[in-house]
Structure 1
Amino acid sequence: MDDGTTSNSAREVAVVDSSMAVKKKAMEVSPDLKGTSIFLVGMKSSVKTNLGKLLAEVLRYYYFDSDSLVEEAGGGASSGKSFRESDELGFCESETEVLKQLSSMGRLVVCAGNGAVQSSTNLALLRHGISLWLDIPLEMVTRDLIQDRIQFAASEEISNLGSYSEVLTQVTDLYNELRGGYATADATVSLQKVAAQLGYDDLDAVTREDLILEVLNEIEKLTRVKKMMEAATRPF
Protein backbone atom coordinates (compact mmCIF):
# COMPACT_ATOMS: atom_id res chain seq x y z
CA MET A 1 0.00 0.00 0.00
CA ASP A 2 1.36 3.42 -1.00
CA ASP A 3 1.35 5.83 1.93
CA GLY A 4 2.50 8.73 -0.23
CA THR A 5 6.20 8.19 0.50
CA THR A 6 6.87 6.66 -2.92
CA SER A 7 5.20 9.49 -4.83
CA ASN A 8 6.97 12.11 -2.69
CA SER A 9 10.32 10.44 -3.35
CA ALA A 10 9.60 10.40 -7.08
CA ARG A 11 8.83 14.12 -7.02
CA GLU A 12 12.04 14.84 -5.12
CA VAL A 13 14.07 12.88 -7.66
CA ALA A 14 12.34 14.75 -10.49
CA VAL A 15 13.22 18.11 -8.90
CA VAL A 16 16.86 17.10 -8.48
CA ASP A 17 17.01 15.85 -12.09
CA SER A 18 15.46 19.10 -13.35
CA SER A 19 17.91 21.21 -11.36
CA MET A 20 20.84 19.23 -12.74
CA ALA A 21 19.50 19.57 -16.28
CA VAL A 22 19.20 23.36 -15.82
CA LYS A 23 22.77 23.66 -14.52
CA LYS A 24 24.10 21.51 -17.37
CA LYS A 25 22.27 23.57 -20.01
CA ALA A 26 23.45 26.84 -18.42
CA MET A 27 27.06 25.62 -18.63
CA GLU A 28 26.56 24.76 -22.31
CA VAL A 29 25.02 28.14 -23.13
CA SER A 30 27.35 30.41 -21.14
CA PRO A 31 30.47 30.29 -23.41
CA ASP A 32 28.59 31.51 -26.51
CA LEU A 33 26.54 33.98 -24.49
CA LYS A 34 29.78 35.79 -23.59
CA GLY A 35 28.22 37.85 -20.81
CA THR A 36 25.44 39.28 -22.98
CA SER A 37 22.67 40.69 -20.79
CA ILE A 38 19.15 39.26 -20.94
CA PHE A 39 15.99 41.38 -20.76
CA LEU A 40 12.72 39.70 -19.83
CA VAL A 41 9.59 41.48 -21.02
CA GLY A 42 5.95 40.58 -20.47
CA MET A 43 3.18 41.17 -17.97
CA LYS A 44 4.34 41.61 -14.39
CA SER A 45 3.92 38.39 -12.42
CA SER A 46 5.58 36.27 -9.76
CA VAL A 47 6.42 33.73 -12.49
CA LYS A 48 8.42 36.35 -14.38
CA THR A 49 10.19 37.57 -11.23
CA ASN A 50 11.05 34.09 -9.97
CA LEU A 51 12.27 32.98 -13.37
CA GLY A 52 14.45 36.07 -13.72
CA LYS A 53 16.10 35.42 -10.36
CA LEU A 54 16.71 31.74 -11.12
CA LEU A 55 18.11 32.56 -14.57
CA ALA A 56 20.55 35.02 -13.01
CA GLU A 57 21.55 32.40 -10.46
CA VAL A 58 22.30 29.60 -12.94
CA LEU A 59 24.15 31.91 -15.35
CA ARG A 60 25.97 33.62 -12.46
CA TYR A 61 24.60 36.98 -13.56
CA TYR A 62 23.29 39.91 -11.55
CA TYR A 63 19.53 40.38 -11.28
CA PHE A 64 17.67 43.69 -11.53
CA ASP A 65 14.05 44.77 -11.81
CA SER A 66 13.92 47.95 -13.87
CA ASP A 67 10.61 49.09 -12.34
CA SER A 68 12.11 48.85 -8.85
CA LEU A 69 15.11 50.94 -9.93
CA VAL A 70 12.84 53.62 -11.39
CA GLU A 71 10.81 53.64 -8.17
CA GLU A 72 13.97 53.93 -6.06
CA ALA A 73 15.12 56.85 -8.20
CA GLY A 74 11.73 58.48 -7.57
CA GLY A 75 11.92 58.00 -3.80
CA GLY A 76 10.12 54.66 -3.39
CA ALA A 77 7.05 52.87 -4.74
CA SER A 78 4.42 55.38 -3.60
CA SER A 79 6.58 58.36 -4.57
CA GLY A 80 7.24 56.74 -7.94
CA LYS A 81 3.51 56.45 -8.58
CA SER A 82 2.99 60.12 -7.63
CA PHE A 83 5.93 61.02 -9.90
CA ARG A 84 4.29 59.27 -12.85
CA GLU A 85 0.91 60.91 -12.22
CA SER A 86 2.33 64.43 -11.82
CA ASP A 87 5.09 64.31 -14.45
CA GLU A 88 4.56 61.48 -16.95
CA LEU A 89 7.25 62.80 -19.31
CA GLY A 90 9.79 63.01 -16.49
CA PHE A 91 8.88 59.49 -15.35
CA CYS A 92 9.36 58.13 -18.88
CA GLU A 93 12.72 59.86 -19.10
CA SER A 94 13.69 58.22 -15.82
CA GLU A 95 12.70 54.81 -17.24
CA THR A 96 14.86 55.44 -20.29
CA GLU A 97 17.82 56.52 -18.15
CA VAL A 98 17.58 53.34 -16.06
CA LEU A 99 17.45 51.18 -19.19
CA LYS A 100 20.35 53.11 -20.69
CA GLN A 101 22.51 52.36 -17.65
CA LEU A 102 21.48 48.70 -17.54
CA SER A 103 22.00 48.18 -21.28
CA SER A 104 25.55 49.52 -21.03
CA MET A 105 26.47 46.72 -18.63
CA GLY A 106 26.98 43.00 -19.12
CA ARG A 107 26.11 39.84 -17.20
CA LEU A 108 22.67 41.06 -16.15
CA VAL A 109 19.23 39.49 -16.12
CA VAL A 110 16.73 42.34 -16.14
CA CYS A 111 13.00 42.00 -15.53
CA ALA A 112 12.00 44.95 -17.68
CA GLY A 113 8.91 47.01 -16.89
CA ASN A 114 6.30 47.80 -19.51
CA GLY A 115 7.92 51.16 -20.20
CA ALA A 116 10.69 49.21 -21.94
CA VAL A 117 8.36 48.30 -24.81
CA GLN A 118 6.45 51.57 -25.07
CA SER A 119 8.95 53.71 -26.94
CA SER A 120 11.32 53.18 -29.86
CA THR A 121 14.18 54.56 -27.76
CA ASN A 122 13.69 51.97 -25.03
CA LEU A 123 13.18 49.14 -27.52
CA ALA A 124 16.49 50.11 -29.13
CA LEU A 125 18.21 49.88 -25.73
CA LEU A 126 16.97 46.31 -25.33
CA ARG A 127 18.88 45.47 -28.52
CA HIS A 128 22.11 45.80 -26.54
CA GLY A 129 21.24 42.39 -25.08
CA ILE A 130 18.91 39.47 -25.73
CA SER A 131 15.22 40.17 -25.15
CA LEU A 132 12.74 37.42 -24.31
CA TRP A 133 8.98 37.71 -24.04
CA LEU A 134 7.72 35.57 -21.18
CA ASP A 135 4.10 35.02 -22.17
CA ILE A 136 2.03 34.10 -19.10
CA PRO A 137 -1.73 33.39 -19.33
CA LEU A 138 -3.69 36.46 -18.27
CA GLU A 139 -5.70 34.45 -15.77
CA MET A 140 -2.48 33.68 -13.87
CA VAL A 141 -1.39 37.33 -14.02
CA THR A 142 -4.79 38.35 -12.64
CA ARG A 143 -4.56 35.80 -9.84
CA ASP A 144 -1.13 37.21 -8.93
CA LEU A 145 -2.49 40.73 -8.72
CA ILE A 146 -5.35 39.70 -6.45
CA GLN A 147 -3.28 37.44 -4.21
CA ASP A 148 -0.44 39.91 -3.74
CA ARG A 149 -2.22 43.23 -3.35
CA ILE A 150 0.66 44.74 -1.35
CA GLN A 151 3.22 44.12 -4.11
CA PHE A 152 0.93 45.54 -6.77
CA ALA A 153 -0.76 48.21 -4.67
CA ALA A 154 1.35 50.95 -6.23
CA SER A 155 0.81 49.67 -9.77
CA GLU A 156 0.15 52.61 -12.05
CA GLU A 157 -1.29 50.32 -14.73
CA ILE A 158 -3.95 48.43 -12.79
CA SER A 159 -5.92 51.07 -10.92
CA ASN A 160 -8.71 49.01 -9.40
CA LEU A 161 -7.90 45.77 -7.60
CA GLY A 162 -11.55 44.83 -7.27
CA SER A 163 -13.25 41.58 -8.26
CA TYR A 164 -11.53 38.93 -10.37
CA SER A 165 -13.52 39.86 -13.48
CA GLU A 166 -12.75 43.58 -13.05
CA VAL A 167 -9.02 42.95 -12.69
CA LEU A 168 -8.99 40.48 -15.60
CA THR A 169 -10.64 43.10 -17.82
CA GLN A 170 -7.93 45.65 -16.93
CA VAL A 171 -5.16 43.08 -17.40
CA THR A 172 -6.58 42.09 -20.80
CA ASP A 173 -6.81 45.73 -21.94
CA LEU A 174 -3.22 46.35 -20.83
CA TYR A 175 -2.00 43.19 -22.56
CA ASN A 176 -3.69 44.17 -25.83
CA GLU A 177 -2.05 47.58 -25.59
CA LEU A 178 1.44 46.17 -25.01
CA ARG A 179 1.53 42.91 -26.96
CA GLY A 180 2.92 44.65 -30.06
CA GLY A 181 5.91 45.82 -28.02
CA TYR A 182 6.35 42.42 -26.38
CA ALA A 183 6.35 40.78 -29.81
CA THR A 184 9.49 42.71 -30.84
CA ALA A 185 11.52 40.54 -28.43
CA ASP A 186 14.14 38.24 -29.92
CA ALA A 187 12.19 35.16 -28.82
CA THR A 188 9.00 34.18 -26.99
CA VAL A 189 8.67 31.67 -24.17
CA SER A 190 5.03 30.69 -23.66
CA LEU A 191 4.04 28.96 -20.44
CA GLN A 192 1.07 27.36 -22.23
CA LYS A 193 3.36 26.00 -24.96
CA VAL A 194 5.78 24.55 -22.39
CA ALA A 195 2.87 22.90 -20.55
CA ALA A 196 1.61 21.37 -23.82
CA GLN A 197 5.07 20.06 -24.73
CA LEU A 198 5.36 18.38 -21.33
CA GLY A 199 1.83 16.96 -21.48
CA TYR A 200 0.53 18.99 -18.53
CA ASP A 201 -3.17 19.84 -18.37
CA ASP A 202 -2.59 22.00 -15.28
CA LEU A 203 -0.47 25.08 -16.02
CA ASP A 204 0.54 25.25 -12.35
CA ALA A 205 2.35 21.94 -12.88
CA VAL A 206 4.98 23.77 -14.96
CA THR A 207 7.99 24.38 -12.70
CA ARG A 208 10.56 27.16 -12.74
CA GLU A 209 13.04 24.57 -13.98
CA ASP A 210 10.76 23.64 -16.89
CA LEU A 211 10.51 27.28 -17.93
CA ILE A 212 14.18 28.04 -17.40
CA LEU A 213 15.16 25.14 -19.64
CA GLU A 214 12.94 26.55 -22.39
CA VAL A 215 14.51 30.00 -21.88
CA LEU A 216 18.03 28.55 -22.07
CA ASN A 217 17.11 26.61 -25.22
CA GLU A 218 15.88 29.83 -26.85
CA ILE A 219 19.04 31.67 -25.81
CA GLU A 220 21.12 28.81 -27.26
CA LYS A 221 19.29 29.11 -30.60
CA LEU A 222 19.81 32.87 -30.71
CA THR A 223 23.52 32.69 -29.89
CA ARG A 224 23.98 29.89 -32.45
CA VAL A 225 22.41 32.03 -35.19
CA LYS A 226 24.58 35.00 -34.18
CA LYS A 227 27.68 32.80 -34.31
CA MET A 228 26.76 31.54 -37.80
CA MET A 229 26.16 35.09 -39.03
CA GLU A 230 29.52 36.24 -37.68
CA ALA A 231 31.24 33.30 -39.35
CA ALA A 232 29.54 34.09 -42.66
CA THR A 233 30.82 37.68 -42.66
CA ARG A 234 34.45 36.74 -42.03
CA PRO A 235 36.76 37.05 -45.07
CA PHE A 236 38.07 33.80 -46.54
Structure 2
Amino acid sequence: MEATVSQSLRLTTWTNSDNTVPKLTNSMRLYTRFEKKKNINMLKCNHLGTIKPAIGHRSAGLKASCASQNSPASVLKSETSITEEDLLLKKKCEEIKPCLSGRCIYLVGMMGSGKTTIGQILSEVLDYSFFDSDKLIEQAAGGTAVADIFKLYGEGYFRDNETEVLHKLSLMHGLVISTGGGAVVRPINWKYMHKGITVFIDVPLDTLAQRLTAVGTASRPLLHHGSGDAYNQTFRRLSKLWEERSECYTNASVRVSLERIADKLDIGDVCSVNPTQIAIEALVQIEDFLKEER
Protein backbone atom coordinates (compact mmCIF):
# COMPACT_ATOMS: atom_id res chain seq x y z
CA MET A 1 0.00 0.00 0.00
CA GLU A 2 2.72 2.49 0.98
CA ALA A 3 4.71 1.93 -2.21
CA THR A 4 1.58 2.22 -4.32
CA VAL A 5 0.61 5.50 -2.67
CA SER A 6 4.11 6.91 -2.98
CA GLN A 7 4.30 6.10 -6.69
CA SER A 8 0.75 7.20 -7.49
CA LEU A 9 0.65 10.56 -5.76
CA ARG A 10 2.71 12.68 -8.12
CA LEU A 11 1.37 16.12 -8.81
CA THR A 12 1.62 16.99 -12.49
CA THR A 13 0.79 20.62 -11.78
CA TRP A 14 4.12 21.02 -10.02
CA THR A 15 6.12 19.56 -12.88
CA ASN A 16 4.16 20.74 -15.92
CA SER A 17 3.25 24.29 -14.93
CA ASP A 18 5.11 27.45 -15.91
CA ASN A 19 4.85 28.40 -12.25
CA THR A 20 6.83 25.38 -11.12
CA VAL A 21 8.33 25.80 -7.68
CA PRO A 22 12.14 25.93 -7.98
CA LYS A 23 14.50 23.31 -6.63
CA LEU A 24 11.98 20.51 -6.32
CA THR A 25 13.04 16.89 -6.29
CA ASN A 26 13.11 15.22 -9.70
CA SER A 27 10.61 12.48 -8.98
CA MET A 28 8.15 14.64 -7.00
CA ARG A 29 7.28 11.61 -4.96
CA LEU A 30 5.44 12.00 -1.73
CA TYR A 31 7.41 10.32 0.98
CA THR A 32 4.87 9.20 3.51
CA ARG A 33 5.90 7.31 6.60
CA PHE A 34 3.50 5.01 8.43
CA GLU A 35 4.52 4.30 12.01
CA LYS A 36 2.58 2.76 14.85
CA LYS A 37 2.07 5.09 17.79
CA LYS A 38 0.64 4.58 21.24
CA ASN A 39 -0.99 8.00 21.43
CA ILE A 40 -1.68 11.17 19.43
CA ASN A 41 -1.10 14.90 19.63
CA MET A 42 -3.40 16.68 22.03
CA LEU A 43 -6.23 18.55 20.33
CA LYS A 44 -5.90 22.17 21.39
CA CYS A 45 -9.17 23.73 22.44
CA ASN A 46 -8.45 27.21 23.77
CA HIS A 47 -5.94 29.35 25.60
CA LEU A 48 -7.01 27.91 28.95
CA GLY A 49 -5.89 24.39 28.15
CA THR A 50 -6.13 21.38 25.89
CA ILE A 51 -8.25 18.32 25.41
CA LYS A 52 -6.38 15.10 25.94
CA PRO A 53 -7.56 12.22 23.77
CA ALA A 54 -8.92 9.53 26.03
CA ILE A 55 -7.47 6.66 24.07
CA GLY A 56 -5.30 5.09 26.75
CA HIS A 57 -2.82 2.39 25.75
CA ARG A 58 -3.87 1.07 22.36
CA SER A 59 -2.50 -2.28 21.35
CA ALA A 60 -2.42 -1.50 17.63
CA GLY A 61 -0.95 1.98 18.00
CA LEU A 62 -1.58 4.99 15.83
CA LYS A 63 -0.71 5.01 12.15
CA ALA A 64 0.50 8.56 11.64
CA SER A 65 1.31 9.99 8.24
CA CYS A 66 1.97 13.55 7.21
CA ALA A 67 1.06 14.71 10.70
CA SER A 68 3.79 17.32 10.74
CA GLN A 69 5.89 18.74 7.98
CA ASN A 70 8.32 16.09 6.71
CA SER A 71 8.14 14.11 9.94
CA PRO A 72 5.86 11.61 11.67
CA ALA A 73 3.49 12.73 14.38
CA SER A 74 4.94 13.38 17.81
CA VAL A 75 3.99 10.98 20.57
CA LEU A 76 2.57 12.01 23.88
CA LYS A 77 3.35 9.60 26.67
CA SER A 78 0.31 8.45 28.57
CA GLU A 79 -0.04 6.29 31.63
CA THR A 80 -3.82 6.08 31.49
CA SER A 81 -5.41 2.68 31.22
CA ILE A 82 -7.95 1.59 28.65
CA THR A 83 -11.21 3.43 29.24
CA GLU A 84 -14.84 2.60 28.60
CA GLU A 85 -14.68 4.98 25.66
CA ASP A 86 -11.80 2.97 24.21
CA LEU A 87 -13.87 -0.19 24.42
CA LEU A 88 -16.91 1.52 22.90
CA LEU A 89 -14.78 2.88 20.07
CA LYS A 90 -13.37 -0.59 19.37
CA LYS A 91 -16.82 -2.20 19.51
CA LYS A 92 -18.33 0.33 17.13
CA CYS A 93 -15.40 -0.11 14.76
CA GLU A 94 -15.85 -3.88 14.70
CA GLU A 95 -19.52 -3.40 13.83
CA ILE A 96 -18.97 -0.93 11.03
CA LYS A 97 -15.74 -2.02 9.36
CA PRO A 98 -17.20 -4.96 7.38
CA CYS A 99 -19.88 -2.62 5.99
CA LEU A 100 -17.29 -0.12 4.76
CA SER A 101 -15.79 -2.60 2.30
CA GLY A 102 -12.60 -0.56 2.20
CA ARG A 103 -14.28 2.72 1.27
CA CYS A 104 -12.21 5.77 2.09
CA ILE A 105 -13.31 8.27 4.74
CA TYR A 106 -12.82 11.97 4.03
CA LEU A 107 -12.97 14.41 6.93
CA VAL A 108 -14.09 17.92 6.02
CA GLY A 109 -14.59 20.99 8.17
CA MET A 110 -13.29 24.42 9.04
CA MET A 111 -9.65 24.94 9.92
CA GLY A 112 -8.96 24.00 13.53
CA SER A 113 -11.86 21.56 13.73
CA GLY A 114 -9.59 18.64 14.63
CA LYS A 115 -9.77 16.71 11.37
CA THR A 116 -6.20 15.43 11.64
CA THR A 117 -6.58 14.29 15.24
CA ILE A 118 -9.90 12.55 14.58
CA GLY A 119 -8.56 11.07 11.35
CA GLN A 120 -5.61 9.51 13.12
CA ILE A 121 -7.88 7.89 15.70
CA LEU A 122 -10.22 6.51 13.02
CA SER A 123 -7.36 5.22 10.89
CA GLU A 124 -5.92 3.39 13.87
CA VAL A 125 -9.08 1.61 14.95
CA LEU A 126 -10.09 0.80 11.36
CA ASP A 127 -6.55 -0.30 10.44
CA TYR A 128 -6.64 2.21 7.58
CA SER A 129 -3.80 4.43 6.40
CA PHE A 130 -3.99 8.14 7.21
CA PHE A 131 -3.26 11.10 4.95
CA ASP A 132 -3.44 14.86 5.44
CA SER A 133 -4.05 16.41 2.01
CA ASP A 134 -2.30 19.68 2.93
CA LYS A 135 0.82 17.80 4.00
CA LEU A 136 0.85 15.82 0.76
CA ILE A 137 0.82 19.07 -1.20
CA GLU A 138 3.62 20.47 0.95
CA GLN A 139 5.73 17.35 0.41
CA ALA A 140 5.14 17.48 -3.33
CA ALA A 141 6.37 21.08 -3.23
CA GLY A 142 9.65 20.01 -1.70
CA GLY A 143 8.54 20.90 1.83
CA THR A 144 7.18 24.35 0.97
CA ALA A 145 4.58 25.28 3.61
CA VAL A 146 0.98 25.91 2.57
CA ALA A 147 1.24 29.52 3.73
CA ASP A 148 4.26 30.05 1.47
CA ILE A 149 2.56 28.36 -1.49
CA PHE A 150 -0.35 30.78 -1.08
CA LYS A 151 2.03 33.73 -0.85
CA LEU A 152 4.22 32.78 -3.81
CA TYR A 153 1.75 31.23 -6.24
CA GLY A 154 -1.73 32.17 -5.07
CA GLU A 155 -4.71 30.27 -3.73
CA GLY A 156 -5.86 29.09 -7.16
CA TYR A 157 -2.56 27.33 -7.73
CA PHE A 158 -2.83 25.60 -4.35
CA ARG A 159 -6.43 24.55 -5.08
CA ASP A 160 -5.39 22.98 -8.39
CA ASN A 161 -2.90 20.76 -6.57
CA GLU A 162 -5.41 20.02 -3.84
CA THR A 163 -7.86 18.77 -6.47
CA GLU A 164 -5.22 16.56 -8.03
CA VAL A 165 -4.33 15.06 -4.64
CA LEU A 166 -7.99 14.26 -3.94
CA HIS A 167 -8.36 12.76 -7.40
CA LYS A 168 -5.46 10.37 -6.87
CA LEU A 169 -6.55 9.46 -3.35
CA SER A 170 -10.05 8.70 -4.65
CA LEU A 171 -8.59 5.86 -6.74
CA MET A 172 -7.47 4.05 -3.59
CA HIS A 173 -9.11 2.16 -0.74
CA GLY A 174 -8.66 1.83 3.00
CA LEU A 175 -7.68 5.44 3.69
CA VAL A 176 -8.77 8.11 6.14
CA ILE A 177 -8.07 11.55 4.66
CA SER A 178 -8.02 14.87 6.46
CA THR A 179 -8.82 17.59 3.92
CA GLY A 180 -8.04 21.30 4.01
CA GLY A 181 -10.78 23.63 5.14
CA GLY A 182 -11.28 25.03 1.62
CA ALA A 183 -11.39 21.70 -0.19
CA VAL A 184 -15.19 21.83 -0.09
CA VAL A 185 -15.51 24.88 -2.34
CA ARG A 186 -14.84 23.03 -5.62
CA PRO A 187 -17.63 20.75 -6.88
CA ILE A 188 -15.04 18.51 -8.59
CA ASN A 189 -13.54 17.75 -5.19
CA TRP A 190 -16.89 16.46 -3.97
CA LYS A 191 -17.06 14.19 -7.01
CA TYR A 192 -13.83 12.55 -5.89
CA MET A 193 -14.64 12.50 -2.18
CA HIS A 194 -18.07 10.99 -2.74
CA LYS A 195 -16.38 7.84 -3.95
CA GLY A 196 -15.90 7.32 -0.26
CA ILE A 197 -17.76 8.67 2.77
CA THR A 198 -17.44 12.32 3.75
CA VAL A 199 -17.68 13.35 7.40
CA PHE A 200 -18.26 16.99 8.33
CA ILE A 201 -16.75 17.85 11.73
CA ASP A 202 -18.96 20.73 12.88
CA VAL A 203 -17.39 22.90 15.58
CA PRO A 204 -18.85 26.22 16.81
CA LEU A 205 -17.01 29.25 15.43
CA ASP A 206 -16.20 30.68 18.84
CA THR A 207 -14.52 27.43 19.81
CA LEU A 208 -12.53 27.42 16.57
CA ALA A 209 -11.45 31.01 17.16
CA GLN A 210 -10.26 30.14 20.68
CA ARG A 211 -8.25 27.16 19.43
CA LEU A 212 -6.63 29.02 16.54
CA THR A 213 -5.84 32.09 18.59
CA ALA A 214 -4.21 29.91 21.23
CA VAL A 215 -1.86 28.15 18.80
CA GLY A 216 -1.30 31.13 16.49
CA THR A 217 -2.42 31.77 12.93
CA ALA A 218 0.91 32.25 11.14
CA SER A 219 0.48 28.95 9.27
CA ARG A 220 -3.11 29.81 8.26
CA PRO A 221 -2.91 31.83 5.03
CA LEU A 222 -6.60 32.74 5.03
CA LEU A 223 -6.51 34.22 8.53
CA HIS A 224 -5.07 37.69 8.02
CA HIS A 225 -4.86 39.60 11.26
CA GLY A 226 -5.01 43.36 11.23
CA SER A 227 -4.71 45.55 14.25
CA GLY A 228 -6.76 44.78 17.31
CA ASP A 229 -7.57 41.77 19.43
CA ALA A 230 -6.34 38.50 17.88
CA TYR A 231 -9.41 36.50 18.93
CA ASN A 232 -11.85 39.05 17.47
CA GLN A 233 -9.88 39.23 14.23
CA THR A 234 -9.83 35.43 13.97
CA PHE A 235 -13.52 35.11 14.77
CA ARG A 236 -14.47 37.71 12.14
CA ARG A 237 -12.40 36.00 9.46
CA LEU A 238 -13.77 32.58 10.36
CA SER A 239 -17.30 33.97 10.18
CA LYS A 240 -16.63 35.25 6.68
CA LEU A 241 -15.23 31.88 5.59
CA TRP A 242 -18.24 30.15 7.13
CA GLU A 243 -20.60 32.31 5.09
CA GLU A 244 -18.74 31.23 1.96
CA ARG A 245 -18.53 27.53 2.81
CA SER A 246 -21.43 26.55 5.07
CA GLU A 247 -23.66 25.48 2.18
CA CYS A 248 -20.82 23.37 0.77
CA TYR A 249 -20.62 21.34 3.97
CA THR A 250 -24.19 20.15 3.44
CA ASN A 251 -22.79 17.90 0.68
CA ALA A 252 -21.12 15.72 3.31
CA SER A 253 -22.44 12.21 3.81
CA VAL A 254 -22.71 12.73 7.57
CA ARG A 255 -22.40 15.56 10.06
CA VAL A 256 -20.69 15.22 13.43
CA SER A 257 -21.72 18.12 15.65
CA LEU A 258 -19.72 18.84 18.80
CA GLU A 259 -22.75 20.61 20.25
CA ARG A 260 -24.84 17.50 19.71
CA ILE A 261 -22.19 15.30 21.35
CA ALA A 262 -22.02 17.66 24.34
CA ASP A 263 -25.80 17.53 24.72
CA LYS A 264 -25.91 13.76 24.36
CA LEU A 265 -23.22 13.24 27.00
CA ASP A 266 -24.51 16.06 29.23
CA ILE A 267 -21.26 17.99 28.89
CA GLY A 268 -21.67 21.68 29.56
CA ASP A 269 -18.87 22.98 27.33
CA VAL A 270 -18.07 21.70 23.83
CA CYS A 271 -14.40 22.29 24.62
CA SER A 272 -14.67 19.37 27.04
CA VAL A 273 -15.68 16.94 24.29
CA ASN A 274 -12.62 14.80 23.68
CA PRO A 275 -11.39 13.39 20.34
CA THR A 276 -12.34 9.81 21.20
CA GLN A 277 -15.94 10.87 21.81
CA ILE A 278 -15.92 12.66 18.46
CA ALA A 279 -14.52 9.58 16.72
CA ILE A 280 -17.23 7.39 18.27
CA GLU A 281 -19.94 9.77 17.08
CA ALA A 282 -18.38 9.76 13.60
CA LEU A 283 -18.64 5.97 13.46
CA VAL A 284 -22.23 6.09 14.71
CA GLN A 285 -23.18 8.57 12.00
CA ILE A 286 -21.33 6.58 9.31
CA GLU A 287 -23.18 3.44 10.41
CA ASP A 288 -26.52 5.22 10.07
CA PHE A 289 -25.52 6.48 6.63
CA LEU A 290 -24.59 2.99 5.49
CA LYS A 291 -27.92 1.63 6.69
CA GLU A 292 -29.76 4.26 4.65
CA GLU A 293 -27.77 3.26 1.57
CA ARG A 294 -28.98 -0.34 1.72
TM-score by length of 1: 0.83
Q: Contact (CA 8 Å) 1:95, 1:115: kept in 2 or not? A: no
- Deviation digits for residues 187-217 of structure 1, max 9, x if unmatched? 1110001101111112222222221111111
Pick from 101, 105, 110: which aligns with 2:168? 101
Instruction: Indicate the residue corresponding to 1:83 in structure 2.
Output: 149
Q: Measure the CA separation in 1 of the matches of 2:251 and 2:148.
A: 30
Instruction: Indicate the residue corresponding to 1:213 in structure 2.
Output: 280
Instruction: Indicate the residue corresponding to 2:29 in structure 1.
Output: none
Pick from 189, 212, 219: which aligns with 1:154? 219
| Corresponding residue SS for 1:110 | strand
Once the two structures are TM-superposed, the CA of residue 173 in structure 1 deviates from its matched residue by 1.0
Structure 2 CA distance for partners of 1:90 and 1:207, relative to 1, 3 Å? closer
Q: Contact (CA 8 Å) 2:258, 2:278: kept in 1 or not? A: yes
Structure 2 CA distance for partners of 1:24 and 1:129, relative to 1, 3 Å? same
| Corresponding residue SS for 2:172 | coil
| Corresponding residue SS for 1:114 | coil
Q: Measure the CA separation in 2 of the matches of 1:218 and 1:56.
A: 16
Give the structure with the higher percent helix. 1
Q: Contact (CA 8 Å) 2:159, 2:183: kept in 1 or not? A: no
Q: Contact (CA 8 Å) 2:122, 2:279: kept in 1 or not? A: yes
Q: Measure the CA separation in 2 of the matches of 1:160 and 1:89.
A: 21
Pick from 229, 232, 235: which aligns with 1:168? 235
Structure 2 CA distance for partners of 1:183 and 1:77, relative to 1, 3 Å? farther
Aligned length: 213
1:32-181 pair list within 5 angstroms = 32-45=99-112, 47-78=114-145, 80-85=146-151, 86-149=153-216, 152-160=217-225, 163-181=230-248
Q: Measure the CA separation in 1 of the matches of 2:282 and 2:238.
A: 24
Q: Measure the CA separation in 1 of the matches of 2:252 and 2:180.
A: 13
Which region of structure 1 is more displaced relative to structure 2, 208-217 or 186-195? 208-217
| Corresponding residue SS for 2:195 | coil
- Deviation digits for residues 10-65 of structure 1, max 9, x if unmatched? xx999611100100110010001111100010012263321111111111111111
Q: Measure the CA separation in 2 of the matches of 1:15 and 1:139.
A: 32
Once the two structures are TM-superposed, the CA of residue 77 in structure 1 deviates from its matched residue by 4.4
- Deviation digits for residues 111-139 of structure 1, max 9, x if unmatched? 11133211111111111100011001112
Instruction: Indicate the residue corresponding to 2:73 in structure 1.
Output: none
Structure 2 CA distance for partners of 1:204 and 1:91, relative to 1, 3 Å? closer
The gaps in structure 2 that reach 5 residues or longer are: 1-78
Once the two structures are TM-superposed, the CA of residue 105 in structure 1 deviates from its matched residue by 0.9
Q: Measure the CA separation in 1 of the matches of 2:288 and 2:169.
A: 24
Q: Contact (CA 8 Å) 2:201, 2:256: kept in 1 or not? A: yes
| Corresponding residue SS for 2:84 | helix
The gaps in structure 1 that reach 5 residues or longer are: 1-11, 229-236
Which letter does structure 1 place at the counterpart of 2:150?
R
Root mean square deviation of aligned Cα: 2.1
Task: Look at both structures and tell me which one has the larger radius of gyration over its CA atoms.
Answer: 1
The alignment-based identity, stated in percent, is 33
Once the two structures are TM-superposed, the CA of residue 68 in structure 1 deviates from its matched residue by 1.4
Instruction: Indicate the residue corresponding to 2:60 in structure 1.
Output: none
- Deviation digits for residues 68-113 of structure 1, max 9, x if unmatched? 11222223344x4343343443322111111111111111111111
Q: Measure the CA separation in 2 of the matches of 1:73 and 1:160.
A: 28
1:218-233 pair list within 5 angstroms = 218-226=285-293, 228=294
